[in-house]
Amino acid sequence: MDRRVYGIETEFGVTCAFTGDKRLSSDEVARYLFRKVVTWGRSSNVFLGNGARLYLDVGSHPEYATAECDSVDDLIAQEKAGELIVHDLALDAERRMANEGIEARVYVLKNNVDSRGNSYGSHENYLVRRAAPLSRITDSLIPFLITRQLLTGAGHLQVTGERATYQLSQRADHMWEGLSSSTTRSRPIINTRDEPHADAEQFRRLHVIVGDSTMSETTTRLRVLTTGLLLAAIEAGTPMGDLSIADPVRTIRAVSRDKTGTKPIKLASGRTMSPLEMQCAFLAKARAFAESSGLIEQETYSWALELWERGLRAVETEQWGLIDTEIEWAMKWRMMERYAAKFSLGMADPRMQQIDMAWHDIHPDRGLYNLLAKRGNASRIITDADAKKAMVTPPQTTRAKMRGEFIQAAHQYGRDYSVDWVHLKLNDVPATTVMCRDPLVPRDERVDRLLAGIRAGTPRQDSAAAL
Amino acid sequence: MSGQEQQRRNTPEPEEPTPPAPAQVASEAKKDAELDSFLDEIDGVLETNAQEFVHGFVQKGGQ
């Protein structure tokens, strides 16, 4: 597939530090967070002017689903824009609470686990051609997804009583199946619920729910590009060899606990392989495919292959300095080790868990990842200006462009509308529903006419196009 | 999009347990010093009661 649609759905954790007498439940805090959304969009489940979807999910999590992107760097900008948008909601909630006599600091954490072990996700979506049988994709991809944590994990300090272990992944312990159509009851690595939000005869949406939310732009970029490159290889019919893992659920937990990548994994075939060996095998396949297909000529893929190789070398030689501005678990681990040494803290000390959580705080001037990035100690892919622009600008090369422009125009001209991933509709004009079935098409004459009709009206002064 | 920093190495280098070069030691020491100054800075942004902060962070399960 020449162009692929990517999207990431992020569930955020929310907590509050109350500094006055009044306290609120997490449901109440979530309602304050979404007041601004409800005022703007008359619902706590909205699509935004940048094409993304923002809503209050089961369990009072704010969830932000990026618009459809066909380039990974657009995806990173849209994803970071989501952090800024939700951060604005947190500031707005603090102001509203203060006006009502509730003194609190609202924390929004882009991580995947709370202090009691409840987990919430970072779901990656990859549009794939239906021609490739799903089982061929998932058989090859699951062993990759189980071992990619060596490079794509966000790191997690797991504390049980006096014992603390630093694991590669936040999500690994919360995966219960390889494949399933459920997302909450029996969390699978790949979710098979088949909602392509596109022409279902042509496309399916591969819904990968095993990933950690990553603050690091380079780690996110590597996560999406390596997975996308393997998908392309599989779609092209590249034989991937049988690396099926005997017990995926047990293995994903074991890999997460092995920073050295050396402990053997038992395959269904009876062979054993280390996580590092398995990743090296996938890297070799991906590199060969990138070379034969010419994808290696693209900067993104040559970048990904270089970091993939260097990352595996860093793990193998335990020279984590090779990746400590690019790979999130290594960046965070370095900070935590140094913090523990500096203040003579044991790893099970609450202060260690606190800095683990604070790493994922999306506040630009308080989150530890963000502060480290400001000092130039985290490699970046986009600029702050790119992220700000993406808050109000949809990706220009996918269907999201039409959705974003429609929503902005409808708000500016005070029109009553409905949208979802596929449909655009003016509620006050009968029979105006436009269906955009191809997510890769950014322009449609029917939408042009719809927009022209809206813009022929009178703009409303009091209506903001953006949230 | 702009501004990505990266180290490029086209060929993997052989893994040999060579002692680190003096320049590498110096750069590690510089990195440590930078990190220490960062860690001094972050104490100003963390909630003072770590235990309360950690235990207060409880979500209902999502997806």
Give chain B's length: 63
Per-residue pLDDT, averaged over A429-449, amounts to: 94
A390 neighbourhood in chain B, CB within 8 Å: none
- Nearest by CB to A17, which of B34, B38, B47? B47
In 3D space, the residue among A37, A313, A296 whose CA is nearest the CA of residue A150 turns out to be A313
Measured between alpha carbons, how far is A425 from A216 in angstroms, rounded to an integer? 37
Q: Is B44 on the interface with A (CB under 8 A)?
A: no
Q: How far off is chain A from B23, nearest CA to CA, in Å?
A: 14
Non-local (6+) Cβ contacts of B62 within 8 A are A11, A57, A58, A59, A61, A63, A118, A119, A120, A121, A184
Q: Which residues contact B18 (CB under 8 A, 6 or more apart)?
A: none
pLDDT at A195: 82
Per-residue model confidence (pLDDT) at position B61:
52
Is the residue at B37 inside a domain? yes
- Give the pLDDT band of residue B7 (cuts 50, 70, 90): very low
Least confident of A144-148, A453-457, B27-31: B27-31
The answer to whether residue B8 is domain-embedded is: no
Q: Which helix (H) or strand (E) holds A64?
A: strand A61-65
Note the pLDDT of residue B62.
46
Q: How far is CA A365 from CA A42, A158, A332, in A?
A: 31, 26, 17
Instruction: Give CA angle at A370 (A365, A373), nearest 5°.
Output: 125
pLDDT of A460 > 80? The answer is yes
Q: What is the largest CA-CA distance in chain A?
A: 71
pLDDT: which is higher, A177 or A170:
A170
Residue of B12, B15, B62 lying closest to A61 (CB–CB): B62
Q: Judge whether residue A146 has pLDDT over 80.
A: yes
Structure tokens at A374: 């400001």
Select the residue of A11, A114, A368 nearest B63 (Cβ to Cβ).
Answer: A11
Q: How confident is the model at residue B40 (pLDDT cuts 50, 70, 90)?
A: very high
Query: Does any domain span residue B59?
Result: no
Token pair of A303 as six digits: 């970048």
**What is the end-to-end Cα distance of chain A in Å, rounded?**
35
Judge whether residue A106 has pLDDT over 80: yes
The alpha carbons of chain B give a radius of gyration, in whole angstroms, of 20
Residue A295 has pLDDT above 70, yes or no: yes
Which tokens belong to A293? 């297909």
At A98 the pLDDT is: 96
Whether A325 shows a pLDDT value over 70: the answer reads yes
- Arithmetic mean of pLDDT over chain A: 94
Q: How many CB atoms lie within 10 A of CB A213?
A: 25
With cut-offs at 50, 70 and 90, classify the pLDDT of residue A283.
very high
pLDDT at B11 over 50: no
Residue B32 domain boundaries: 20-45
What's the mean pLDDT in A352-367? 97
The tokens describing A458, both together, are: 């009178």
> Which of A322, A332, A338 to mutate against chain B (most B CBs within 10 Å)?
A338
Lowest model confidence (mean pLDDT) among A235-249, A397-411, A441-455: A235-249
The answer to the question of residue B25 being in a domain is: yes
Partner residue facing B46 (CB), from A15, A354, A375: A354
Question: Rounded mean pLDDT of A348-359?
Answer: 97
Classify the C-alpha dihedral A83-A85-A91-A96 as positive or negative.
Answer: negative
**Does B59 reach chain A within 8 Å, measured CB to CB?**
yes
Q: Which two tokens stand for residue A34?
A: 């979404």
| B1 band by pLDDT with thresholds 50, 70 and 90 | very low
Lowest-confidence range among A19-28, A225-234, A254-263? A19-28
SS3 state of residue A250? helix
pLDDT of A179 = 67
Which positions of A are catalytic? 57
Q: How confident is the model at residue A321 (pLDDT cuts 50, 70, 90)?
A: very high
Position B63 in a domain: no
Strands (DSSP E) contained in A112-221 are 122-129, 156-160, 163-167, 177-180, 188-191, 203-208
The first and second tokens of residue A307, run together, are 């970091």
Chain A residues touching B12 at Cβ < 8 A: 309, 313
Q: What percent of chain A has pLDDT over 70?
A: 98
Residue A454, classed as helix, strand or coil, is helix
CA atoms of A410 and A412, how far apart (whole Å): 6
Q: What is the pLDDT of residue A113?
A: 93
Q: A49-73 pLDDT, tens per residue?
A: 999 999 998 778 899 999 999 999 9
Q: CB A303 to CB B6 under 8 A?
A: yes
Q: Are A155 and A337 in contact (CB under 8 A)?
A: no
Cα–Cα distance measured from residue A112 to residue A328, given in angstroms and rounded to the nearest whole number: 14
Number of domain units in chain B: 1
Please tell me the pTM assigned to this model: 0.93
What crossing angle do the helices spanning A217-235 and A72-99 adopt, rounded to 10°? 140
Indicate the pairing of strand A104-109 with strand A13-18: antiparallel
B18 interface with A at CB cutoff 8 Å: no
CA distance A227 to A140: 11
Residues in chain B closer than 8 A to A335 (CB atoms):
35, 38-39
Query: A314 and A323 in contact (C-beta within 8 Å)?
Result: yes
Answer whether residue B10 is part of any domain.
no
Specify the pLDDT at position A184. Answer: 55
Strand pairing report for A122-129 and A104-109: unpaired
CB of A172 closer than 8 Å to CB of A253? yes
* Assigned domain for B3 exists: no
Count of CB atoms situated within 10 Å of the CB of A404: 25
Contacts (Cβ under 8 Å, ≥6 apart) of A238:
A285, A288, A289
A125 bridge partner residues: A7, A207
